[in-house]
Structure 1
Amino acid sequence: MATLPHSNTADTESLLEEWSWTMQSANFSTRTIDERLLLIRRVCDTCGHPLNVQTRDLQKFLATPWKASTRQTYQFAIRGFFTWLQWAGHRDDNPTDKLPRVRVPRRHPRPITDADYVVLKQTRMNARTLLMVELGARAGLRAHEIAKCHRDDFDERNRVLRVSGKGGVERFVPVHHDLDRCFGMNAFLFPNHDENKSFAAGEGHVLANSVSRMLSGVMRRAGVNGTPHSLRHYFATNLLHAGVDSRVVQELLGHASAQTTALYTAVSLDQKRLAVELL
């Protein structure tokens, strides 16, 4: 049976609402759900009503000059939506079935160096930004994890930080002495002074994009090559160089797969030389 043409925006929103219920029931994080809904709205704005979209429409949308990893992430989310439409009986076909697989170049660890970290900490910044830097480099937190840090997450007696990571997965990270001042802070470490899409002014915390923007700014001023996520890579690589077992590093980063951890941990030239000298 051919798919009937649709054009009603309200109908699109009802489909997205139904899909969001499915994601909620599967315990997807609010952040993931919001990001996927935003993406599919962009797809609909570009390609038309989701019940009319064809494979060629999605190919054109995905031909946008994004990084390969971004295109892969977007294709995965788009595939999930149209697979759900077919499963839920809204479509007889799935236009993503014939999409070509996105080829992604092999990723390499991209930590900053020890010298970069020294320069970064010597760069002029406010105390709020410095704490963000240290949470990335000394606790390995992602931007969204830094954003929602709360005083109650810090267990002073056991010197442990409770982190709610991707998908709400909890992990516990020992508190580095550079972060001792967190024990004396109140409520959210980074409260939102202005209204954002999640909280009224002063009633919650800043969002991940604010953390990324502040960290990117100070790294740029310091002349440090990298992204805010490079601080997390720096944390992981330093642990590996200190002789920490890779399984422990995996736990500290909150990775489900050791393969993901390998993408974060750079092996130095000195380590390679030492390995060859053992032959």
Structure 2
Amino acid sequence: MIAEGVPGGKQDPRAALEGTRPGRQMSAYLQHLAVERGMALNTIAAYRRDLARYATFLQARGVGSAEAVDGRTLTDFAQALRDGSDGGSPLSARSAARCVVAVRGLHRFWALEGTTPDNPAVDLHPPAAGQRLPKAISVAEVTAILESVPTETEAGQRDRALLEFLYSTGARISEAVGLDVDDLHLERPEDGPAVVRLFGKGSKERIVPLGSYAANALDSYLVRGRPVLAAKGVGTAALFLNVRGGRLSRQSAWTVLKAAAERAGIDKPVSPHTLRHSFATHLLEGGADVRVVQELLGHASVTTTQVYTRVTAETLREVYAAAHPRALA
């Protein structure tokens, strides 16, 4: 495993943490995040990489324990993240902010656990990151992507169901490939409308409705495609299967979307998260309340969702500037 951002770029994050006393003290924090806070594995992996860089920095500075860290050390580390003066790759403001957040959480944990007498990171603040607007694509472009998928084969039926599902629910790709068949409830006259149970960050559960296009594509896949794919494996509850009958990976799902976008003639970058951004943007453009979109996306705070209102406002300004006779002098 390559430790992105760790000086030298070649050290395994686990080895970096176990190689020094501060690093070993950091491992207790990661265990706390995984066991007591229930953080997602991907989030834990990102924290481990960030803390591995911090552990290597402390070792280079001759800091032999958590108790020896002071405010100057923390300030110098935050600067090193931006300029690479510790030998690591310079990080963007957004990546550096994530790393600083990990370090602040670490020192808060150490202080609460009594590892250190106080918290020297109280006044450590992450660098301001410019807010990037989500990159949504138009409804016509989404439709072209979805309709470009051939469904003559079992894999094609799966691909169409997957892409329809991502756009219909706004699910993260990790949530989609992590689904089991039992998480899906397709519409039946006696059971009610189609819904799906999604598990987001921190294993937080939410129920999201399915549009008719996605429900029909999933129904077709479950009847015609999945049984054939499942017969090639040893038996799994996963909803989306690969050609060997196992659970579809995130990388394979990304490849499915990339191929569909190419067939549709979409020449701009498109990723599974693009469909999530487009889902939110199109809902708001259609008049949905931002708090409803927040619930559908599984955002803990409405502030995270409100960035999409800026996207729709930008679109309105562009249309206004192009169409109104006195918009521009």
| Superposition TM-score, scaled by structure 1 size | 0.75
- Which residue identity does 1:106 align to in structure 2? Q
In 1, are the aligned partners of 2:78 and 2:96 still within 8 Å (CA)?
Answer: no
What residue is the counterpart of 2:168 in the other structure? 138
Q: 1:19 aligns with which of 2, 5, 29?
A: 29
2-side partners of 1:37 and 1:50: how far apart? 18
SS in 1 for 2:206: strand
CA apart distance, 1:86: 3.5
CA offsets 1:120-169 (integer angstroms, 9 cap, x no match):
23556863444433222111011211220221111123311111111111
What is the one-letter code of the residue matched to 1:34? A
Give distance in 2, aligned partners of 1:270 and 1:103. Answer: 26
1:164–1:170 CA contact under 8 A, matched in 2: yes
SS of 2:208's equivalent? strand
Tell which deviates more after alignment, 108-117 or 11-20.
Answer: 11-20
- Alignment correspondent of 2:13: none
| Equivalenced residues, count | 262
Distance, in Å, in 2 between the alignment partners of 1:34 and 1:175 is 32
- Does the CA-based 8 Å contact 1:120-1:224 persist in structure 2? no
Deviations 1:1-28 (A, max 9, x none): xxxxxx9627466434421332221333
Aligned mate of 1:269, from 285, 306, 316: 316
Quick check: which has more Rg, 1 or 2? 2
Shift of 1:172: 1.0
Mind listing any 5+ residue stretches in structure 1 that lack a counterpart?
Answer: 1-6, 195-200
* TM-aligned CA distance change 1:135 to 1:228, over 3 Å: same
1:1-279 matches, within 5 Å, as 9=19, 11=21, 14-23=24-33, 24-45=35-56, 47-48=58-59, 51=66, 54-55=73-74, 56-63=76-83, 64-92=89-117, 94=119, 96-97=121-122, 99-123=124-148, 127=156, 128-156=158-186, 157-158=191-192, 159-180=194-215, 181-183=217-219, 184=222, 185=226, 187-191=237-241, 202=246, 205-208=247-250, 211-212=253-254, 214-215=256-257, 218-219=260-261, 222-265=266-309, 266-267=311-312, 268-269=315-316, 273=320
Distance change >3 Å, CA 107–CA 57, structure 1 → 2: closer
Amino acid at match of 1:43: Y
Are the counterparts in 2 of residues 173 and 252 from structure 1 also a CA contact under 8 Å?
yes
* Larger RCO, structures 1/2 (Cα 8 Å, 6+ apart): 1
Q: SS where residue 15 of structure 1 aligns?
A: helix
- Tell me if the contact between 2:294 and 2:305 (Cα under 8 Å) persists in the aligned partners: yes
Q: Partner amino acid for 1:112? A: I
CA deviation string 1:203-233 (max 9, x = no partner): xx34545544654565467313444322111
Match of 2:279, SS?
helix
Is the alpha carbon distance of 1:61 and 1:108 closer, same or farther for their aligned partners in structure 2, counting shifts above 3 Å?
A: closer
Deviations, residues 10-62 of structure 1 (Å, cap 9, x unaligned): 74664344213322213333443333223322433455367466322343134
Amino acid at match of 1:188: A
Give the conservation status (yes or no) of the 8 Å contact 1:108–1:263.
Answer: yes
Counterpart Cα distance in 1 of 2:161 and 2:55: 40
Q: Which runs of 5+ in 2 are unaligned?
A: 1-16, 84-88, 228-236, 325-329
Q: What's the counterpart of residue 4 of structure 1?
A: none
Q: CA deviation at 1:90?
A: 3.1
**Normalized against structure 2, the TM-score is what?**
0.65
- The residue number in structure 1 matching 2:6 is none
Given that residues 112 and 224 in structure 1 are in contact (C-alpha distance below 8 angstroms), is that contact kept between their aligned partners in structure 2? no
Cα contact 2:82–2:93 (8 A) shared by 1: no
RMSD: 3.6
Helix, strand or coil: the match of 2:196?
Answer: strand
Q: Work out the CA distance in 1 between the residues paired with 2:94 and 2:28.
A: 28
Q: Per-residue deviation at 1:192?
A: 6.3
Aligned partner of residue 109 in structure 2, secondary structure: helix
